[in-house]
Amino acid sequence: MSEEVTQAGLVGVVGRPNVGKSTLVNALVGHKVSIVTAKPQTTRHRIMGVLTLDACQYIFVDTPGIHSDAPRRMNQAMNRVAQTAARDADVVVFVVQAGKWTDQDMRILDALKQLDLPVGLVINKVDQIQDRDSLLPFIAKLQKMADFAFIVPLSALKKDNLTPLLEELRPYLPESPAFFPHEQHSDQSEQMLAAEVIREKLMERVHQEVPYALAVQVESLEREGGLIRLGAIIWIEREGQKGIVIGQGGKVLKDIGTAARKELAEYFGKRVHLDLWVKVRPGWPDDPRLLGRMGISSE
């Protein structure tokens, strides 16, 4: 029988794009709940990753990277999602990259100082620091910038030094019963998870500006015994992008479908039949109705 949860709370995970927030949440939860690519702004939604451990339930709220240049409705919505998640949390984890402090980091920190919440600093990607002697001065420099609740250097990719972070977070989680069943690791629906997996495979295989002009909407998910049938639309902005996504003789789209189908079959524990359609909708990142259907609120 599982241990009864006596503490549970929201941990807002914020930072600029590409500092490793989603990798960190996946590592802490022990399951893939957020897609990860090398491209900035991969995360577009607020995604909850749930870890139930030692009578404590940590609900990590993975958020889109906060960026100052947000000209389109979708980018503005992503910023609002991240800011709201921070305000609603019991404790905030501010993630930065080891050895790299930017003006964007400073703007986020200034905003976090306005919240009446404990803010802890996570210095990620310490495994990428070649000159280890430079790490301590970097930590000392950031320590002077704010009254952080704690500072934890770690490597989310290598899953190194995660336990000290959990120990630092625990005192800030309120007394509460569990919000989620012990075996649940995310708040995502199956349709949302499938759409995100397909988008991850797309972003890994197409380049230049095209990944940011892509969206995936799952139209259907049906179960037939040991088979799951999925139908999804890949939205693009311009007709000229269709050839890039489909590829010569349909090779790129086929490779994307194969990779997505393999991962989804492992997740569902069943065979997956996946149909993908590529459709053009000019200006979709500014279309509130389409954004809403994809779970990106424009309000």
Residue 44 backbone phi and psi in degrees, to 5? -115, -15
CB 186: neighbour CB atoms within 10 A? 20
Burial class (CB in 10 A: 0-12, 13-18, 19+), 159: middle
What does pLDDT average to over the chain?
Answer: 84
Question: Which is more confident, 288 or 257?
Answer: 257
Exposure string over 206-235, b if 16+ CB within 10 A, otherwise e: beeebbbbbbbbbeebeeeeeebebbbbbb
- Reply yes or no on whether the pLDDT at 299 is more than 60: no
Q: In what order do the strands lie in the sheet with 271-280?
A: 215-224, 227-236, 271-280
Burial class (CB in 10 A: 0-12, 13-18, 19+), 161: middle
Domains and CATH numbers, the chain: 7-172 (3.40.50.300), 190-293 (3.30.300.20)
Q: Strand locations in 114-226, DSSP E?
A: 119-124, 151-153, 215-224
* pLDDT at site 298: 43
Of 83-87, 127-131, 169-173, minimum mean pLDDT range: 83-87
Tokens 């049938």 locate to 229
Mean pLDDT of 10-19: 90
* pLDDT at site 85: 54
pLDDT digits (tens, 9 = 90+) for 165-203: 999 999 999 999 999 999 889 888 889 889 989 988 988
pLDDT digits (tens, 9 = 90+) for 244-277: 889 899 999 999 999 999 999 998 999 999 999 9
Question: Which is more confident, 102 or 86?
Answer: 102
